[in-house]
Amino acid sequence: MAIDISEEQLAMESADLLKILLKDRTTKKNIVL
């Protein structure tokens, strides 16, 4: 199903974004997961 594929892609992309945000905001402790 295309929905599953898109969800997996979004999950991977969001994971990368979270890693970037975590790296960029290590000094700030306002990270909301």
Q: Where are the domains of the chain?
A: 1-33
Distance CA 27, CA 25 (A): 5
In the predicted model, what is the mean pLDDT of residues 27-31?
A: 59
| pLDDT score for 32 | 55
| pLDDT score for 7 | 84
| pLDDT score for 27 | 60
Burial letters 2-33, b for 16+ CB under 10 A, else e: eeeeeeeeeeeeeeeeeeeeeeeeeeeeeeee
| pLDDT score for 6 | 84
List pLDDT tens digits, range 9-25: 888 888 888 887 777 66
